[in-house]
Structure 1
Amino acid sequence: MQRICRAFAVLTLPLCVLTATQLVAQTYTPLKNIPGQELMRRMQSAMSGIGEGGSVGDVRWDSTAGELWFEKDGWKTLHLANGEVHDAAKDAQPPESAQPSRSGRNGGERRPARGRQFTSTESPDGAWTAISEQGNLFLQPTKGDRIAVTTDGTDDLKYGQASWVYGEELDQTTAMWWSPDSRFIAYYKFDESQVKDFYILGGWTDTNTRIMSEAYPKPGGANPTAYLMVYDIAAKKQIEIDAFSVASGATEGTEYYLYNVLWTPDGSELLFSRTPRRQDVLDVLAANPTTGLTRLVVQEKQDTWQENRPLMRFLKDGTRFIWETEKTGFKHYELRTLGSASDAPALLATLSSGAWPVESIVQIDEEAGELWFTAWSGDIAVQQQLHCARLDGKNAVRSTRVTTEDLHHSNFRISPDGAHVVADGETTQIPAKALVYSREGNLLATLAQGSVKGFTTHELTPTELFTCLSADGTTTLYGKINFPPAFDATKKYPVIVETYGGPTIRLVTDRFSAGDTTSALGFIVVVVDNRGTPGRGKAFESAAYLKLGVVDADDQAAAVQHLAATRSYIDGARVGITGHSYGGYMSAICAVRRGDVFAAAVAGAPPTDWRNYDTIYTERYMRTPQENAEGYDAGSCVKLASKLESKLLLLHGMMDDNVHPNNTFQLANALQSVNRPFAMMLFPNGTHSIGSPAEQSVKWSFFVEALAPIAPDWPSKKPAAAAAAATLKAETK
Structure 2
Amino acid sequence: MEYPELAARTRRFTRGAPRAVTVASDGSRVIFLRSPGPEDAADALWVLDVETSTERLIAEPAALLTDDDTGDLPAEERALRERLRLSASGIGSYATDPAARVAAFPLGGRLFRADLVTGDVTEVATAGPVVDPRPDPTGRRIAYVTSGNLHVIHADGTDALLAGEEGDVTWGLAEFIAAEELDRFRGYWWAPDGRSILAARVDESRVPRWHLHDPARPEVAPTSVAYPYAGADNAEVTLHLLDLEGGWVDVHWDRETYPYLVSVHWAEGGPLITVLRRLQQHGLVLSVDPRTGETQVHAELADPRWVEPVLGTPSHLPDGRVLVGGELAHDGYDARCLFADGTLLTPPSLYVRRVVGRMAAGAGAGSPDLLVEASEGEPSEQHLFRVRTAIGAGGAEIRPLTTAPGWHVGAVGGDVLVVGSASLDRAGTHWTIWRVGKQVSVITSYAAKPPYAPRPVLERVADRRLPAAVLYPRNHVTGRRLPVLLDVYGGPGHQEVLATRARWLERQWWADAGFAVVTVDNRGTPGVAPSFEKVVHRRVADVVLTDQVDALSALAGKHPDLDLDRVSIRGWSFGGWLAGLAVLRRPEIFRCGIAGAPVTDWRLYDTAYTERYLGLPSENPDVYAHHSLIEIAAEPVHDARPLLLIHGLVDDNVVAAHTLRLSAALLASGRPHSVIPLTGATHMAAGGVGEQLLRLELDFIRRNL
Deviation, structure 1 residue 100: 11
CA deviation string 1:579-638 (max 9, x = no partner): 111111111111111222211110111111111111111112222112222221111111
Q: Does 1:256 align with 2:249?
A: no
| Equivalent residues of 1:561, 1:597 under 8 A apart | no
**Equivalence for 2:252:** 242
Of 677, 681, 700, 1:682 maps to 677
Aligned letter for 2:651?
Answer: D
- Please tell me whether residue 520 in structure 1 is matched to residue 512 in structure 2: yes
Stretches of structure 2 that go unaligned for 5 or more consecutive residues are 7-50, 54-76, 85-129, 431-435, 437-451
Select the residue among 202, 224, 239 that pairs with 1:190.
202
Please name the residue that 2:551 is paired with.
559
* C-alpha displacement of 1:382: 3.7
Q: Distance in 2 between matches of 1:417 and 1:122?
A: 23
Name the CA distance, whole Å, in 2 between partners of 1:411 and 1:125: 28
Whole-Å separation in 1 of the counterparts to 2:405 and 2:132 = 45
User: 2:169 aligned with 1:157, yes or no?
Assistant: yes
Q: Deviations over 1:287-315 (max 9, x none)?
A: 22221211112222112111145432757
The code of the aligned residue for 1:242 comes to: H
Contact conserved, 2:149 with 2:172, CA < 8 A, in 1?
yes
Given residue 213 of structure 1, which amino acid in structure 2 is its aligned partner? Answer: S
- Residue 340 of structure 1 corresponds to which residue in structure 2? none
How far the C-alpha of 1:226 sits from its partner, in A, is 0.5
Query: CA separation in 2, counterparts of 1:537 and 1:147?
Result: 49
- TM-score w.r.t. structure 2 length? 0.70
Query: Which of 347, 357, 364 in structure 1 is aligned with 2:351?
Result: 357
Q: Is the 8 A contact 2:310 2:326 kept in 1?
A: no
| 1:26 alignment partner in structure 2 | none
Displacement of 1:185 in angstroms is 2.1
Cα separation, partners in 2 of 1:359 and 1:130, compared to 1, 3 Å: closer
Distance across 1 between alignment mates of 2:82 and 2:704: 36
1:546 paired with 2:538, answer: yes
Residue 653 (structure 1) aligned with residue 648 (structure 2): yes
Question: Counterparts in 2 of 1:279-298, with a 5 A limit?
Answer: 279-298=280-299
Q: Which residue of 2 aligns with 1:15?
A: none
Deviation, structure 1 residue 681: 0.7
- Whether the 8 Å contact between 1:324 and 1:331 is mirrored in structure 2 is no
d(CA) in 1 for partners of 2:390 and 2:209?
51
Which of these residues, 220, 225, 238, is aligned with residue 209 of structure 1? 220
Q: 1:309 to 1:212 in 2, by over 3 A?
A: farther
Q: Could you tell me which residue of structure 2 aligns to residue 662 of structure 1?
A: 657
Match of 2:261, SS state, is strand
Q: Distance in 1 between matches of 2:309 and 2:499?
A: 28
Q: Secondary structure at the match of 2:631?
A: coil
Per-residue CA deviations over 1:303-359 (Å, capped at 9, x if unaligned) read 2111145432757737345432213364444352xxxxxxxxx33x42222245134
- Residues 698 and 191 of structure 1: CA distance in aligned 2, closer, same or farther (over 3 Å): same
> Hey, what's the Cα distance between the residues in 2 that align with 1:682 and 1:627?
34
Distance change (3 Å), C-alpha of 1:569 and 1:679: same
Structure 2 residue matching 1:498: 3-state secondary structure: strand
Instruction: Tell me, yes or no, if structure 1 residue 633 matches structure 2 residue 625.
Output: yes
Instruction: Look up the match of 1:702.
Output: 700
Partner of 2:70: none
Contact 1:40 1:520 in 2 (8 A): no
Which of 166-175 and 313-322 deviates more? 313-322
1:429-469 alpha-carbon deviations (Å, 9 max, x no partner): 9x999xxxxx9xxxxxxxxxxxxxxxxxx9x9953223322
1:682 and 1:621 map into 2 onto residues whose CA distance is 29
Q: Which amino acid aligns with 1:589?
A: L
Task: Indicate how the Cα distance of structure 1 residues 187 and 427 shifts in structure 2: closer, same or farther if over 3 A, else same.
Answer: closer
Q: Which residue identity does 2:265 align to in structure 1?
A: L
Query: How far does residue 177 in structure 1 lie from its aligned partner after superposition?
Result: 2.4
Secondary structure of the residue aligned to 1:260 is: strand
Greater strand proportion: 2
Q: Could you say if the C-alpha distance between residues 591 and 173 of structure 1 is closer, same or farther in structure 2, counting changes exceeding 3 Å?
A: same
2:181 aligned with 1:177, yes or no?
no
Residues 493, 523 of structure 1: 8 Å contact kept: yes
Tell me: CA distance 1:662–1:428, structure 2 relative to 1, closer, same or farther (3 Å): same
Q: How do 1:267-278 residues align onto structure 2 when only pairs under 5 Å count?
A: 269-278=270-279
Q: Please tell me the residue identity of whatever aligns with 2:327.
A: E
Q: 8 Å contact 1:548–1:631 — kept in the other structure?
A: no
* Closer, same or farther: CA 697–468 of 1 in aligned 2, 3 Å: same
Cα separation, 1, equivalents of 2:398 and 2:275: 34
CA distance in 2, matches of 1:403, 1:126: 32
Alignment equivalent of 2:232, drawn from 217, 221, 233: 221
Instruction: Work out whether residues 141 and 153 of structure 2, in 8 Å CA contact, stay in contact via their aligned partners in 1.
Output: yes
Question: Is this contact kept in 2: 1:499–1:527, CA < 8 A?
Answer: yes
Contact 1:134–1:155 under 8 Å retained in 2: no
Instruction: For 1:666 and 1:484, locate their aligned partners in 2 and report how far apart those are by CA, in whole Å.
Output: 37
8 Å Cα contact 1:591-1:648 kept in structure 2: yes
Q: Give the equivalent residue in structure 1 for 2:571.
A: 579
Letter in 1 for 2:376: S
Q: CA deviation at 1:281?
A: 1.8
CA RMSD in angstroms, aligned pairs only:
4.2
2:46 alignment partner in structure 1: none
Question: How does the TM-score come out when normalised to structure 1?
Answer: 0.67
How far did residue 184 of structure 1 move?
Answer: 1.8
Identity %: 27
Please give the alpha-carbon distance, in whole angstroms, between the structure 1 residues aligned to 2:161 and 2:293.
21
Residue identity matched to 1:555? D
Give distance in 2, aligned partners of 1:479 and 1:654.
33
Partner of 2:93: none
Q: 1:175 Cα shift?
A: 1.8
Distance 1:399 1:516 in 2: 41
Any gaps of 5 or more consecutive residues in structure 1?
1-31, 33-37, 43-98, 102-109, 245-249, 337-345, 434-438, 440-457, 708-733
Which residue in the other structure is 2:109 paired with?
A: none
In structure 2, the CA distance between the partners of 1:663 and 1:301, relative to structure 1 (3 Å rule), is same
Quick one: which of 481, 487, 490 aligns to 1:492?
A: 481
Distance 2:178 2:470 in 1: 37
Q: What corresponds to 1:502 in structure 2?
A: 491
1:229 match: secondary structure? strand
Corresponding residue for 1:479?
Answer: 468
Do 2:310 and 2:353's aligned partners in 1 also have CA atoms closer than 8 Å? no
- The answer to whether the aligner puts 1:595 opposite 2:587 as a matched pair is yes
The 1-side partners of 2:240 and 2:180 are apart by: 22
Opposite residue 668 of structure 1, the aligned amino acid is S
How many Å apart are 1:573 and its aligned residue?
A: 1.5
Cα distance change of structure 1 residues 613 and 407 upon mapping to structure 2, 3 Å threshold:
same
Q: Deviations over 1:652-688 (max 9, x none)?
A: 0111111100000111111111111111110111111
Aligned-partner Cα distance in 2 for 1:228–1:556: 43
Alpha-carbon contact 2:424-2:499 (below 8 Å) kept:
yes
Instruction: Verify the 8 A CA contact 1:376 1:535 in the aligned structure 2.
Output: yes
* Residues 1:422 and 1:705: Cα distance change in structure 2 (over 3 Å): closer
What SS is found at the alignment partner of 1:262?
Answer: strand
Which one has a bigger Cα radius of gyration?
1
- Cα deviation, 1:86-139, whole Å, max 9, x if unaligned, reads xxxxxxxxxxxxx999xxxxxxxx994234994554444566554544444445
Distance in 1 (CA, whole Å) between partners of 2:422 and 2:647 is: 40
Name the CA distance, whole Å, in 2 between partners of 1:466 and 1:136: 51
Matched AA of 1:463: P
Number of aligned pairs?
561
Is 1:334 aligned with 2:335? no
**1:351 alignment partner AA:** L
Using a 3 Å threshold, how does the CA distance of structure 1 residues 577 and 700 change in structure 2: closer, same or farther?
A: same
Partners of 2:648 and 2:679 within 8 A in 1 = yes
Q: Specify the code of the residue in structure 2 equivalent to 1:275.
A: L
Alignment of 1:15-30 (within 5 A): none
